[in-house]
C-alpha cells in the first residue's frame, strides 16, 4: 500500500448499502486514488450477533484508528428493542455536525429544475430529542427529553459559519421553533444571534421552522445554508433532497472535531436491496465530500465532473424521472468510470477549502451566571383523582414546608385552580410548588425532601424538577393558562 493511501474504515451497511458503497469505491479507485480500507460491520449484522448498540467493538477500534469513515445505510429496528446504530456512531464519536448539501443536477428532472437550487442543511447531530432520553411516566404517558445545550449550540453555529466561509457562501438561515419552545429552541436562536456578530460578512437570519418548510416548497432558491436542530434537520433535509431529485442524490457528512463519517442521506431501501437497481449517486457524492475533507479536492472535482457528464448524457437508474430504459447500479457505475477525464458543460463542481472545524473542549461545558436561585419545585405525580381533589390534598400536605401549591397542570395545561375548561386528563400531573415565604428566599433541598415525603404518603411521584432563576430570569416554562 503506497504511503499516500487514504486510511479509512468502510462500513458497507445494510440493504442496498454494499451495492452503493462498492460502486463508490470502484470509481475512486478508477480515478487513481489509493485507499487503505478497513472493512467493518455495523447495523443489522451486529444486532444479529447480539451487539445491543449495533456497533461492535472491532468497528469502534477501527474508527478510533482511522478517524475517517465511509458508510452505507444501517437498518434501525422501529419502536422497540435496540438503539439506532447510526445514532450510536454519531454520539460515540461526537460527530456534532451533520452536513447535507443538495444542488440542482443536470439531466435530473424535477418540478424545480431551472431554479438553481443549491442549499446546505447543517443539522446539529447529537442533542435535541435524539439524545434518546425517554421515560414512561405512567403506563399511559411517554416522555422524551429535548436536550439543548449552550456549548452544543455554539459549536454547531460556529461550524455553520466556518462552513459558509470555506465554501464562499453568503447567507445562513437558522430555523427553529422558538415561538413555542422558548427555552430549548430559543437557546438555539439566541446563540445563533450572538455568534453571528463574529461573522459580519455572512448574512444571518432567523426563520421559524414551519415557515422554512413552506418557503422551501415555494421559493427554495432563496436559501443558501439552513442551520437547525437535530429533529428539524432530519425532516428538512429529506425535504431538500426531494427538491433536487430525491434520496438517490443526497449526500451527507457527519463531522466532529476528531472523526468524520460520510454517508448517503437515504436508508437501506430493503425493497430494492440486492437487485442491482439502487442509484449510487448519493453515496458517490458523499465519498467526494470525504475526499475533499482529506484535502483531495482536485480528484474529487474530477470525479464529480464524470458524474455530471454521465447524468447529462441521459444514463439513468430506475428511480430517476424519465428513465425509460434504466441502467443497473453497475452499468451506471461503469458509465461514470468511462467519463472520467471529461468536463461537464452544464454544471461546475464547487471549490472547497478545508473547513475550520470547532474543537470540542475537554472541559465540562457550562455558562457563568451572576446569580441563581431555587424558587420552587415541580413534582410529577401519577393519580386517577380529579384535579380538585389532588389540589386540596397537596395544599394540605404542603402546609408547614415553606412551599405552597401554585398550579397543577396536565399535558402542559393548567387544570387547578379550576379554569372552567373541559381539558382531557391523563394520569400524570405536574404539581408546581413555590416558596411561600419572601420572594427572594432560596428553597432548601431539605424543604423539597420534606414535601416529597409528605406527597408520597398519598401519591406515587414520578420525577421532580427544581424551579430555578438564573440572572433573575425564570429557567422554566409556565403551563398553558398559568398566571
C-alpha distances in Å from residue 448, one per residue of 125, 328, 371, 477 = 36, 66, 21, 20
Contact 8, 37 (CB under 8 A): yes
Calpha distance 293→255 (Å, rounded): 10
Binding ligand NAP by CB under 6 A: which of 6, 60, 272, 403? 272
- Residue closer to ligand NAP, measured from CB, 62 or 409: 62
Q: Interacting stretch for ligand NAP, rule CB under 6 A, among 45-53, 186-194, 265-273, 286-294?
A: 265-273
Stretch that binds ligand NAP, among 101-109, 268-276, 340-348, 354-362 (CB under 6 A): 268-276
Please give the Cα distance from 398 to 70 (Å, whole number): 58
x/- letters, 318..357, toward ligand NAP (CB under 6 A)? -x--------------------------------------
Among 263, 304, 312, 378, binds ligand NAP (CB under 6 A): 263
Angle formed at CA 235 by CA 261 and CA 176, multiple of 5 degrees: 100
Q: By three-state DSSP, how is residue 14 classified? A: coil
Q: What does DSSP say about strands 428-435 and 403-410: parallel, antiparallel, or unpaired? A: antiparallel
# of chain residues touching ligand NAP (CB under 6 A): 20
Check the CA dihedral 404-409-414-418 and report its sign: negative
Provide the minimum distance between the beta carbon of 318 and ligand NAP in the complex, in angstroms, as a whole number. Answer: 7
In whole angstroms, how close is the CB of 123 to ligand NAP at the nearest point?
12
Q: How many residues does the chain have?
A: 483
- Helix H or strand E segment including 196: helix 184-196
| Structural contact between residues 282 and 20, judged by C-beta atoms closer than 8 angstroms | yes
Taking CB positions, which residue lies at the least distance from ligand NAP?
A: 267
* Eight-state DSSP code of residue 336: H
Q: Are 1 and 54 in contact (CB under 8 A)?
A: no
Residue closer to ligand NAP (CB basis): 76 or 430: 76
Q: Which is nearer to ligand NAP, 252 or 401 (CB)?
A: 252
Verify binding: residue 234, ligand NAP, rule CB under 6 A.
Answer: no
Among the listed ranges 69-77, 132-140, 341-349, 399-407, the one in contact with ligand NAP (CB under 6 A) is 69-77
Of the listed pieces 93-101, 272-280, 403-411, 474-482, which binds ligand NAP according to CB under 6 A?
272-280
Report yes or no: 383 and 459 within 8 Å, Cβ to Cβ: yes
CA angle at 234 for the pair 228 and 411, rounded to the nearest 5° = 85
Interface residue with ligand NAP, options 107, 248, 376, 391 (CB under 6 A): 248
**E strands, 209-360, where?**
225-228, 251-255, 260-264
86 touching ligand NAP, by CB under 6 A: yes
Q: Which of 60, 68, 74, 300 binds ligand NAP (CB under 6 A)?
A: 74
Determine, following the binding rule CB under 6 A, whether residue 402 of this chain makes contact with ligand NAP: no
- Could you identify the residue written with the cell 451572576? 370
Binders of ligand NAP among residues 293 to 322 (CB under 6 A) are: 319
Site for ligand NAP in 97-136 (CB under 6 A): none
Q: If binding is defined by CB under 6 A, does position 247 make contact with ligand NAP?
A: yes
When asked if residue 267 is in the footprint of ligand NAP (CB under 6 A), the reply is: yes
Q: What does the alpha-carbon distance between residue 25 and residue 45 come to, in Å, rounded to a whole number? A: 21
Contact positions with ligand NAP (CB under 6 A) in 275-294? 278-279, 282
**240 exposure class (CB count in 10 Å sphere: 0-12, 13-18, 19+):** buried
User: Which of 261, 375 has the CB closer to ligand NAP?
Assistant: 261
Is 66 near ligand NAP (CB under 6 A)? Answer: no
Cβ proximity to ligand NAP, 16 vs 236, nearer residue: 16
Phi, psi of 413 (to 5 degrees): -115, 135
90 makes contact with ligand NAP (CB under 6 A): no
Smallest separation, CB 177 to ligand NAP (Å): 23
DSSP summary character for residue 179: T
Question: Which stretch, 25-33, 267-275, 381-389, 412-420, contacts ligand NAP (CB under 6 A)?
Answer: 267-275
- Residue 176, Cβ neighbours under 10 Å: how many? 25
Q: How far is the CB of 73 from ligand NAP (least distance, A)?
A: 3
Question: Rule CB under 6 A: is residue 268 a binding residue for ligand NAP?
Answer: yes
Which DSSP string do the residues of 119-173 spell out, in sequence order?
EEEEEE-SSBGGG--EEEEETTEEEE--B--HHHHHHHHHHHHHHHHHHT--EEE
Binding piece for ligand NAP, criterion CB under 6 A, among 22-30, 74-82, 135-143, 227-235: 74-82
Instruction: Tell me how far, at minimum, the Cβ of 14 lies from ligand NAP, in Å.
Output: 7
Residues 6+ apart with CB under 8 A from 456: none
Q: Which residues bind ligand NAP (CB under 6 A)?
A: 16, 20, 73-76, 86, 247-248, 263, 266-269, 271-272, 278-279, 282, 319
Amino acid at each position: 500500500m503506497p504511503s499516500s493511501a487514504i486510511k479509512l474504515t468502510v462500513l458497507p451497511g445494510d440493504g442496498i448499502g454494499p451495492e452503493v458503497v462498492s460502486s463508490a469505491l470502484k470509481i475512486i479507485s478508477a480515478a487513481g486514488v489509493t485507499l487503505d480500507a478497513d472493512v467493518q460491520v455495523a447495523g443489522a449484522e451486529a444486532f444479529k450477533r447480539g451487539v445491543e448498540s449495533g456497533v461492535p467493538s472491532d468497528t469502534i477500534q477501527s474508527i478510533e484508528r482511522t478517524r475517517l469513515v465511509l458508510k452505507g445505510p444501517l437498518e434501525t429496528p422501529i419502536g422497540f428493542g435496540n438503539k439506532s446504530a447510526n445514532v450510536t456512531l454519531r454520539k460515540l464519536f461526537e460527530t456534532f455536525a451533520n452536513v447535507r448539501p443538495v444542488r440542482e443536477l443536470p439531466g435530473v428532472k424535477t418540478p424545480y429544475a431551472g431554479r438553481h437550487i443549491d442549499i446546505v442543511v447543517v443539522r446539529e447531530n447529537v442533542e435535541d430529542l435524539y439524545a434518546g432520553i425517554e421515560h414512561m411516566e405512567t403506563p399511559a404517558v411517554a416522555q422524551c427529553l429535548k436536550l439543548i445545550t449552550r456549548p452544543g449550540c455554539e459549536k454547531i453555529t460556529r461550524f455553520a459559519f466556518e462552513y459558509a466561509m470555506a465554501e464562499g457562501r453568503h447567507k445562513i438561515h437558522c430555523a427553529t421553533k422558538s415561538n413555542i419552545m422558548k427555552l430549548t429552541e430559543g437557546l438555539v436562536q439566541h446563540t445563533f444571534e450572538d455568534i453571528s456578530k463574529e461573522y459580519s460578512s455572512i448574512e444571518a437570519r432567523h426563520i421559524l421552522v414551519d415557515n422554512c418548510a413552506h418557503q422551501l416548497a415555494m421559493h427554495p432558491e432563496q436559501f443558501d445554508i439552513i442551520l437547525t436542530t437535530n429533529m428539524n434537520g432530519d425532516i428538512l433535509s429529506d425535504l431538500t433532497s426531494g427538491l433536487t431529485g430525491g434520496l438517490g442524490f443526497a449526500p451527507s457528512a457527519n463531522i466532529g472535531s476528531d472523526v468524520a463519517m460520510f454517508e448517503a442521506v437515504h436508508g437501506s431501501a430493503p425493497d430494492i436491496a440486492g437487485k442491482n437497481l439502487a442509484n449510487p449517486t448519493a453515496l458517490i457524492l458523499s465519498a467526494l465530500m470525504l475526499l475533499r475533507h482529506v484535502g483531495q479536492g482536485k480528484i474529487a472535482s474530477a470525479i464529480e465532473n464524470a458524474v455530471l457528464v454521465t447524468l447529462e448524457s441521459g444514463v439513468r437508474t430506475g428511480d430517476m424521472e424519465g428513465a425509460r430504459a434504466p441502467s443497473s447500479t453497475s452499468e451506471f457505475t461503469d458509465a461514470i468510470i468511462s467519463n472520467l477525464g471529461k468536463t461537464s458543460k452544464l454544471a461546475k463542481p464547487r471549490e472547497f477549502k478545508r473547513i475550520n472545524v470547532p474543537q470540542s473542549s475537554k472541559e465540562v461545558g457550562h455558562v457563568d451566571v451572576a446569580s441563581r436561585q431555587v424558587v420552587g419545585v415541580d413534582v410529577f405525580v401519577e393519580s386517577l383523582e380529579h384535579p380538585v381533589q389532588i389540589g386540596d390534598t397537596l395544599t394540605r400536605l404542603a402546609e408547614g414546608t415553606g412551599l405552597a401549591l401554585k398550579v397543577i397542570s396536565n399535558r402542559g395545561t393548567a387544570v387547578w385552580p379550576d379554569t372552567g375548561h373541559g381539558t382531557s386528563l391523563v394520569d400524570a400531573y405536574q404539581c408546581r410548588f413555590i416558596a411561600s415565604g419572601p420572594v427572594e428566599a432560596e428553597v432548601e433541598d431539605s424543604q423539597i425532601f420534606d414535601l416529597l415525603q409528605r406527597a408520597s404518603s398519598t401519591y406515587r411521584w414520578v420525577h421532580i424538577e427544581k424551579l430555578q432563576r438564573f440572572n433573575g430570569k425564570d429557567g422554566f416554562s409556565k403551563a398553558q393558562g398559568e398566571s
